[in-house]
A and B are shown apart, each in its own frame.
Chain A
Amino acid sequence: SKSRSTFGEKLNRLFANFRSVDEDFFDDLEDTLIESDVGFDMAVNLTDQLREEVKLQNAKNREDVQNVIIQKMIDIYDQAGNDESTKINMAENGPTVILFVGVNGVGKTTTIGKMADKYKKDGKKVLLAAADTFRAGAIEQLDEWAKRDQVDIVKKPEKSDPSAVVYEAVHKAKEEDYDVLFVDTAGRLQNKVNLMNELSKMKKVLTREIPEAPHEVLLVLDATTGQNALNQAKLFKETTDVTGIILTKLDGTAKGGIVLAIRNELHLPVKYVGLGEKVSDLSKFDANDYVYGLFKGLIK
C-alpha cells in the first residue's frame, strides 16, 4: 500500500547511513529502542526477531537486510493490532460520550480543547463537562477552552462531587440533543485506590443515563513517561475499560516507545497524538510516522 512504501522509503534513508549491517548495527538498534522507552525486554525481543529474520531470509547485502527489517517491523506492528479501530466510536443516535482519564499533568484538558474544536468545526453540537473539581484552576482552564472553541460547558463550584457534574452534563446532553460530550476528569495516579474508584463511579453515572456510554474512554499518556506508563495503562484499563490512547507531547524529544509495549500487552490502539499546545496541534495517529520516529535517533 501507499503508506507502507512511504515507511519503507523513510527506513531506507535510515539504513543508508550504515556502511555495513553487523553486530554493531544490531547493538545500535537495541540501544535506540531502549532510548525510545520501549522497555528493555521489548527492545531485546524486537532486535532478536529482526536479527533472526535477517538470518532466515539469508539476507547478505545491505539492501536485502534493510528490506527484511522493514517488512518485519511492519509485520510485528500489524500483528499486535488485529481488530483494532483507531476511529472514535460514535453513538448511532443520541450523544456520543467521551471520557478522558490519566495521571496528573499529561494533557487531558488540553486534548479535550483540541478535539472539541475539531468536532465543532465538523458541525457537531459539543458539550464539555468540567468534572475535575479538585485541581486549582482546572474548571477555569476548561472554561477557557470552551470559550476559545465556542462550545458549551457544564461546571459546578470547586470541590463539588465530580459525579454530580457528570450527571448534570449527560442529562443536559440528552435533553438538549448534543452530539458529543467530552468529560474532563482530575489527574490521578493509578495506585490511588480511592481516586480510581471515584472514576469508575463517574463512569457508572454515564452508563446509567445512556446504556452505551461512555462510547470512548481515552487514556491520555505523556510521551516523556517511561516504563510506568505500562502500569498506568493496566490499572486504568482495569477500572475504566479504556478503549484507546492519546499520546501527547510528541513535539518534544521523547519518542513514547512505551506505547509499543502497551500495544503488545494490552492491545490498546493509539487514536490521536498531541504535537503542541495550540488547538491545531492534534493529529490522527500514523503508525508509520510513529515507528519511523522510534528510529530517528539512529540518524545522525
Chain B
Amino acid sequence: MAFEGLTERLQKAMRNLRGKGKVSESDLRKTMREIRLALLEADVNFSVVRKFVKTVQERAKGADVLEGLNPAQQIVKIVDEELTKTMGEEATPLNKSEKIPTVIMMAGLQGAGKTTTAGKLSLKLKNEKDARPLLIAADIYRPAAIDQLEQVGKEIDVPVFQKGTDVDPIEIVKQGMQVAKENHNDYVLIDTAGRLQIDEKLMDELKNIKELTHPDEILLVVDAMTGQNAVNTAEGFNDALDITGVVLTKLDGDTRGGAALSIREVTQKPIKFIGQGEKMDALDVFHPDRMASRILGMGDILSLIEKT
C-alpha cells in the first residue's frame, strides 16, 4: 500500500500523548490533522472531509477520556463510530416488490461495472432466493455490449432479452417487461449503457426507463477507485433518478475506497453491495464498519484499542 494509513500516522502522534482526564485542544488539533490527511489520501471528497472532521471535533472536544485509552485513541474511537454511522451502521438488503417482477435498473458512468454487476446480482438471486431472473440488454451504444451481456447470461444460465442495436432502449425495455410477465420472471435486471451525469440526452433516457418500469431498485454502480469526482457523479445520478442504492466495484484492488464515504454523504443512500473481482460470484454484501476501517486503514488501531 502506497499510502500511510491512519494507523501509522497516529502511532507517531500518539507517542507524545498521555492518558489524562480530558481531550485537550492540542491533542485534538494534532489528531484531527492526521485524520484529515488520511481521509484525503483515501480519496474522500475534500468538502465531505471538512464536514466530517468538524463533526468529530465537536464530539471530541472536552470529551472524557475513557479508562485505558489515551486521548488519541479516544478520538480514533469517536472517528470510527462517526464513520460507521455515516456509512449506514448496518447492511441494507435489496428491495423486493410485493408482486413479481422486482425490477432492478443499473446506472452509472462508462466502465464502472454495470454489466458485470447485473450478471453477478442475477446469479446471487438465483443461488440465494431461488429466483428466475431476466436480464434486459438496453445498452445499444457500446460496441458488443449485447454480446457481453449474452455471454454473461450464458455463463450463469440466466435468459437475456435483446433486440439488437437498432431498437430504442425504451422500446427494448418495454418489450422485455412484457416477456418477463409472460414467463413469470420474478426479477428483471436492466443493463443500461454507461453515461456521464452531465449528458442530458442520455440521462433523459434513464428517466424514461424509470418512468416506464417503476424500478424497485435503481442501483448506481461506482468504481471504488474514483477520486474527488465521486460526489459529482453521485449527485448527478441521484438528482436525476432518485437512486435507491449503490454498488461499489473493483474493491479487490488496493484502493482505500474513500468514494464510499463521499457518495454516502451526498446521496444518503445505502451502499448495498461491493464487487470484489471479475468472476460472477465476486459480489458481496456491503458492511459499513469494514469499509470504515478500510478507508482509514485503521483495523490495527481498533484492535490496539481493544487490547489496552
A residues near B (Cβ < 8 Å) are 31, 34-37, 39-40, 103-107, 113, 134-138, 140-141, 143-145, 148, 158, 189-192, 222, 224-231, 234, 249, 251-255, 258, 277
Q: Contacting A35 at CB < 8 Å: which of B46, B225, B255?
A: B46
Tell which of B13-21, B36-44, B54-62 binds the partner: B36-44
A90 CB to closest chain B CB (Å) equals 27
Instruction: Tell me if B266 is interfacial: C-beta within 8 Å of chain A.
Output: no
Q: With a 10 A CB-CB cut-off, give which of A134, A144, A225, A252 has the most chain B CB atoms.
A: A252
Q: Which of B43, B196, B278 contacts A135 (CB 8 A)?
A: B278
Query: Which B residues lie within 8 Å of A105 (CB)?
Result: 110-113, 223, 250
B46/A34 in contact, CB under 8 A = yes
Q: Are B226 and A34 in contact (CB under 8 A)?
A: no
**A227 B144 Cβ-Cβ under 8 A:** no
Which residues of A have CB within 8 Å of B97? none
Residue of A39, A105, A140, A158 most packed against chain B (CB within 10 A): A105
Q: Residues 145-172 of chain B: 1 if any A CB is under 8 Å from the residue's CB, otherwise 0?
A: 1011111100100000000000000000
Contact A227 to B3, CB < 8 A, known contacts A34-B40, A137-B144, A137-B147: yes
Instruction: Describe A's contact surface by its main secondary structure.
Output: loop
Partner pick for A141 among B113, B148, B197, CB 8 A cutoff: B148
Residue interface mask B250-287, A partner, CB < 8 A = 1: 10111110110000000000000000001000000000
Could you tell me which residues of chain B, from 197 to 218, have a CB within 8 Å of some CB in chain A? 197-198
Establish whether residues B144 and A143, one from each chain, have CB atoms under 8 Å apart when the complex forms: yes
Q: Are A277 and B142 in contact (CB under 8 A)?
A: yes
Closest to B236 in A: A253
A37 interface neighbour in B144, B227, B253, Cβ under 8 Å: B227
Known: A224-B229, A231-B254. A136 touches B109 (CB 8 A): no
B228 with A226: CB separation less than 8 A: yes
Q: Which residues of chain B come closer than 8 Å to A253, judged between CB atoms?
A: 196-198, 229, 232-233
Contact across chains for A249 and B110 when beta carbons are under 8 A apart: yes
B45 and chain A: residue at smallest CB distance: A35
- Contact status B46-A222, CB under 8 Å: no
- Classify chain B: how many residues form its interface, as a range: 35 or more
CB <8 Å contact, A227 and B111: no
Cα–Cα distance between A222 and B253 once the two chains are bound (Å) = 15
B111 touches A144 (CB 8 A): no
Tell me whether B144 and A225 are in contact (CB under 8 A).
no
A222 and chain B: residue at smallest CB distance: B111
A141 touches B143 (CB 8 A): yes
Q: A277, B227: Cβ atoms under 8 Å?
A: no
Contact of A254 among B42, B147, B155, B229 (CB under 8 A): B229
Closest 3 interchain pairs by CB?
A: A226-B227, A137-B148, A105-B111
The answer, among A31, A158, A231, A251, for a CB contact under 8 Å with B2, is A231
* Chain B positions within 8 Å of A140 at CB level: 143-144, 147-148
| Cβ contact within 8 Å between B111 and A106 | yes
Please name 22 pairs of A and B residues whose Cβ atoms are closer than 8 Å in the assembled complex, sorted by A. Answer: A34-B40, A37-B229, A104-B278, A105-B113, A107-B111, A136-B115, A141-B142, A143-B144, A144-B144, A148-B143, A189-B250, A189-B252, A189-B253, A222-B223, A225-B223, A226-B226, A227-B255, A228-B254, A230-B2, A249-B110, A252-B198, A254-B229
Chain A residues whose C-beta falls within 8 Å of the C-beta of B42 in the assembled complex: 227
Given contacts A106-B111, A141-B144, A228-B43, contact A190 B2 (CB under 8 A): no
- Contacts A136-B151, A137-B147, A222-B225 known; 9 new A-B pairs at CB < 8 A: A34-B40, A34-B228, A40-B41, A141-B143, A144-B143, A145-B143, A229-B227, A252-B229, A254-B228
Residues in B with CB closer than 8 Å to A134 are 278
CA distance A134 to B279 in the complex (A): 10
Q: How far is the CA of A50 from the CA of B3 in the complex (A)?
A: 25
- Report the Cα distance A244→B119, complex, angstroms: 34
A277-B110 CB under 8 A given contacts A36-B228, A137-B151, A252-B198 = yes
Q: Roughly how many angstroms separate A137 CA and B228 CA in the complex, as a whole number?
A: 31
Partner of B228, one of A35, A144, A249: A35
Residues of A within 8 A of B232 (CB): 253-254
Give A37 to B225 CA distance when docked, in angstroms.
12
**Which residues of A sit under 8 angstroms from B252, Cβ to Cβ?**
189, 192
- The CA-CA distance from A255 to B229 in the complex, in Å, is 8
In the complex, the chain B residue whose C-beta lies closest to that of A109 is B143
- Expressed in whole angstroms, the minimum distance between the Cβ of B30 and any Cβ of chain A is 17
Residues of chain B within 8 A (CB-CB) of A192 are 252
Residue ID in chain A nearest B255 by CB atoms: A228
Q: Within the complex, what minimum Cβ distance (angstroms) separates B191 from chain A?
A: 12
| Complex: A144 Cα to B259 Cα, angstroms | 33
Q: Quick one: closest B residue to A192, CB to CB?
A: B252
User: How far, in angstroms, from A136 to B223 measured CA to CA in the complex?
Assistant: 19
User: In whole angstroms, what is the CA distance A111 to B228 when docked?
Assistant: 24
Residue of A nearest to B113 (CB): A105
Q: How far is the CA of A34 from the CA of B37 in the complex (A)?
A: 11
Q: How far is the CA of A17 from the CA of B150 in the complex (A)?
A: 52
Instruction: Please report the C-alpha to C-alpha distance between residue A258 and residue B226 in the assembled complex, in whole angstroms.
Output: 11
Q: Which residues of B contact A190 (CB under 8 A)?
A: 253-254
User: Are B148 and A226 closer than 8 Å at their CB atoms?
Assistant: no
Q: What residues of chain B lie closer than 8 Å to A36, measured between beta carbons?
A: 228
Whether A103 pairs with B250 at a CB distance below 8 angstroms is: yes
On chain B, the residues within 8 Å of A37 by CB distance are 43, 227-229
Using A34-B228, A135-B278 as known contacts, say yes or no to A226 and B258 having CB atoms under 8 A apart: yes
Are B225 and A228 in contact, with the CB atoms below 8 A?
yes
A230, closest chain B residue (CB): B2
Query: From B50, which residue of chain A is reached at the shortest CB distance?
Result: A31
Min CB distance, A259 to chain B, in Å?
12
Query: Does the CB pair B2–A224 fall under 8 Å?
Result: no
